Amino acid sequence: MAQVELTRKAQQQADELPKTIRARLYRVIQRLENWPNVSGAKPLRGNLAGHYRIRSGAYRIQFYVTGDVVCIDKIGHRDDFYD
């Protein structure tokens, strides 16, 4: 079991989402507690190497793993997620 933490920026991004989207993303975040046995997580490349992303519909969650801690550092819509 991993401990999931959100950065202040990620928490603000989650708070700005509609309530239904936020609830769906929090279910995905709960799945991350089972790291590394999480389906759908993909490693990122390039300047984001070492980070992962998991998607839920049109929204993405970007995170990295340090030991037993999964740290979510970005939550957003796919249109402007990788900018």
H, E, C per residue of 2-13: CEEEECHHHHHH
pLDDT digits (tens, 9 = 90+) for 7-55: 999 999 999 999 999 999 999 999 999 999 999 999 999 999 999 999 9
pLDDT digits (tens, 9 = 90+) for 42-82: 999 999 999 999 999 999 999 999 999 999 999 999 998 87
Cis peptide before 36 (omega within 30 of 0): yes
Under CATH, which architecture does the 3-77 domain have? 2-Layer Sandwich (3.30)
DSSP assignment of the chain equals --EEEE-HHHHHHHHTS-HHHHHHHHHHHHHGGGTTS-TT-EE--GGGTTEEEEEETTEEEEEEEETTEEEEEEEEETTTTT-
Domain ranges of the chain: 3-77
Q: What local confidence, expressed as pLDDT, does residue 70 receive?
A: 97
Q: How confident is the model at residue 83 (pLDDT cuts 50, 70, 90)?
A: confident
Q: What local confidence, expressed as pLDDT, does residue 37 receive?
A: 93
